[in-house]
Chain A
Amino acid sequence: MAENIWVLGAAMTKITRYPDQDVIDLAATASIEALADAGVTMADMQVMGMGNMFQAMAGLGQSVQQQIGQTGIPVYNVVNACATGATAVRTVHLSILAGEADMGIAVGCEQMGKMGLLGPGGQSKAEKHVYAPTGRYGSVMGAEGILGTTLMPGVFAQAGQEYAYENGGVGFEQFAKVAEKNHAHSVLNPLAQYQKKFSLEEIMNARMVAYPNTLPMCCPTGDGAAAVVLVSESKLKTLSLEQQRRAVKISASVLTSDPWVERGQVQPDVNTLTRNAAKIAYEKAGIGPKDLDLVELHDCFATAELLHYDNLGLCEPGGAGAFIDSGAPWRDSPGVTVNASGGLLSKGHPIGMTGVAGVFEITTQLRGEAGDRQIEGATVGMAHVIGLGSSCGIHILEKSAA
């Protein structure tokens, strides 16, 4: 059996907008802080995973090394939509698992500013415009808004509505309750982009973006970076007792893509790959959903979080509506807490950062170092992300003795 791999250090910047810094500054800040938290330096790193979406052509991992320590170690610059950060963690995990490194750093960063709606943009303007079929659908013009929508708010609204169609007890109010919870949780997290509580009524009466998602039911764009230092168990045992005490075990690190499903070509399927990843992760960790104290899951829109209660086995099959109605995923309710950080809805969602930020949050909670937002006695947690295209990353972490 392969040896265990541990999180030795973790850090994230506050998510906000940083007009006076570039994405290298953000990634360097998170990396330096994660190394300091781990009690090691760049000289100890043997591999780097760098996750970034919108500046991925720039050799960002190398640029960061040029700022914080140019030691010549390999960099894997990775992109996997909103699962980019989780892929960076997975890459470092694999390198250690393969025995090519005993310590490495995974970084996720993004600078989005005020990007607005994500998805295919408007149509380009030609000098003289004559229709000619192009591309894989033989299209003569852009289809956005004419043949439905492919922009994120509508896509995830439809994913939620599909769940409502197949299962009872889910409607606008259940989706809105997800946002009510996550915004309430964010008030306790100083690293969150927004720390503002909303009443259910305020959320339901807010400006509609894509029914049933109103504005506070959609995550913001923002800037930020997170980094984690991973270490093999054999190396960890050579480090100080304090480093060993604060280290958190990675019980599962899983990445899946979306398998073929009948309607997947017209409505991205965010469910099957999450279910597959969860099944593998639970098996690897030797635990079940009932063992989880907290989950950071991919609530890019309020409609998305509801689906994943079911996909991750947190509720009875088909029972996501009843689950949120019961208040079960709130922090002060018994059982699992979902998105204690405030989630993407309020903590923020700089695309490439998110997967690493989730691992940071679980690590911080299991160490008992989460301050006001601490979930008391938490020993097992999961970080889940999904990137359309589609890719799903799940990490299960456990507080354990090395």
Chain B
Amino acid sequence: MAQQIPMVDYLVLDGDPHLVAHECANCGALFFDRRNACAHCSGIKFVPRDLKTTGVVRSFSIIYQAAPGVPVPYVSSLVDIDGGGAVKANILNIDPDPATVALGMKVKMTTFVSGTDDEGTEAVAFAFEPSN
């Protein structure tokens, strides 16, 4: 099996793949990026927090005109993660049609290979798919 690397550092691939956020130790605000301080309370101490892998589609768009090289149509979404946190990701394994994709639908996280570099290392990204 090819060597794999997460496409972003907030995706954990070991064991059951999941997202990990920086949680502000003071106010509990969650962030995915490298932080200088908390945008909510200006606190400077953070602890890692594992997020759940299920959630609800809070918003979506079906993209028909995209950046060069991006296959269309695809479904971009904003997912409210069960138990806290929100993330932007594609919805896979669904017909990209407004009659099929629904606001409020339940989804679960999945992973897929998003690219391979010149040394054969695979980048692994995350997405969501319908729960049932």
Residue on A with the closest CB to B3?
A131
Contacts of B2-41 to chain A: CB distance below 8 A: 5-10, 29-34, 39-40
Residues of B within 8 A of A133 (CB): 5, 8-9
What's the nearest-Cβ distance from chain B to residue A333, in Å?
29
The answer to whether A157 and B61 touch across the interface, beta carbons within 8 angstroms, is yes
The answer to whether A147 and B89 touch across the interface, beta carbons within 8 angstroms, is yes
What's the nearest-Cβ distance from chain A to residue B94, in Å?
13
- Assess whether A245 is interfacial by the CB under 8 Å rule: no
- Assess whether A210 is interfacial by the CB under 8 Å rule: yes
The answer to whether B8 and A211 touch across the interface, beta carbons within 8 angstroms, is no
Residues of B within 8 A of A138 (CB): 6, 8-10, 34
Contacts of A123-144 to chain B: CB distance below 8 A: 123, 128-131, 133, 136-141, 143-144
Residues of A within 8 A of B131 (CB): none
- The docked-state distance in angstroms from the alpha carbon of A139 to that of B118 is 17
- Assess whether B51 is interfacial by the CB under 8 Å rule: no
Q: Which of B73, B77, B103 contacts A148 (CB 8 A)?
A: B77
- Assess whether A154 is interfacial by the CB under 8 Å rule: yes
The answer to whether B33 and A265 touch across the interface, beta carbons within 8 angstroms, is yes
Q: By CB atoms of chain B within 10 A, which of A121, A164, A211 has the most?
A: A211
The answer to whether B8 and A162 touch across the interface, beta carbons within 8 angstroms, is no
- The docked-state distance in angstroms from the alpha carbon of A212 to that of B126 is 24
What's the nearest-Cβ distance from chain A to residue B74, in Å?
7
The answer to whether A147 and B98 touch across the interface, beta carbons within 8 angstroms, is no
- The docked-state distance in angstroms from the alpha carbon of A137 to that of B61 is 23
- Assess whether A189 is interfacial by the CB under 8 Å rule: no
- Assess whether A145 is interfacial by the CB under 8 Å rule: yes
- The docked-state distance in angstroms from the alpha carbon of A145 to that of B62 is 11
The answer to whether A146 and B121 touch across the interface, beta carbons within 8 angstroms, is no
- The docked-state distance in angstroms from the alpha carbon of A263 to that of B66 is 23
Residues of B within 8 A of A262 (CB): 29-30, 86
What's the nearest-Cβ distance from chain A to residue B98, in Å?
6
The answer to whether A263 and B86 touch across the interface, beta carbons within 8 angstroms, is yes
What's the nearest-Cβ distance from chain B to residue A389, in Å?
13
Contacts of A201-242 to chain B: CB distance below 8 A: 207-213
Q: Which of A136, A137, A148, A164 contacts B76 (CB 8 A)?
A: A148
- The docked-state distance in angstroms from the alpha carbon of A225 to that of B114 is 43
- The docked-state distance in angstroms from the alpha carbon of A358 to that of B53 is 45
User: With A136-B33, A265-B33, A266-B88 as given contacts, are A165 and B63 in contact (CB-CB < 8 Å)?
Assistant: no
Q: Which of A117, A208, A260, A266 contacts B62 (CB 8 A)?
A: A208
- Assess whether A390 is interfacial by the CB under 8 Å rule: no
Contact flags (1/0) for A238-280 with B, using CB distance below 8 Å? 0000000000000000000000101111110000000000000
List residues of B whose CB falls within 8 A of some A CB. 5-10, 29-34, 39-40, 58-71, 73-74, 76-78, 80, 86-90, 98, 103-104, 114-115, 117-119, 121, 123, 125-127
18 contacts between A and B (CB under 8 A): A130-B118, A130-B119, A131-B5, A131-B121, A133-B5, A140-B6, A143-B8, A144-B66, A145-B66, A145-B90, A147-B126, A158-B59, A158-B76, A161-B61, A165-B103, A210-B76, A212-B98, A267-B78
Given contacts A131-B123, A267-B86, 4 further A-B contacts (CB under 8 A): A133-B5, A144-B66, A260-B29, A263-B78
Per CB-CB distance, the 5 closest pairs between chain A and chain B, nearest first, are A138-B9, A145-B70, A157-B61, A148-B88, A211-B62
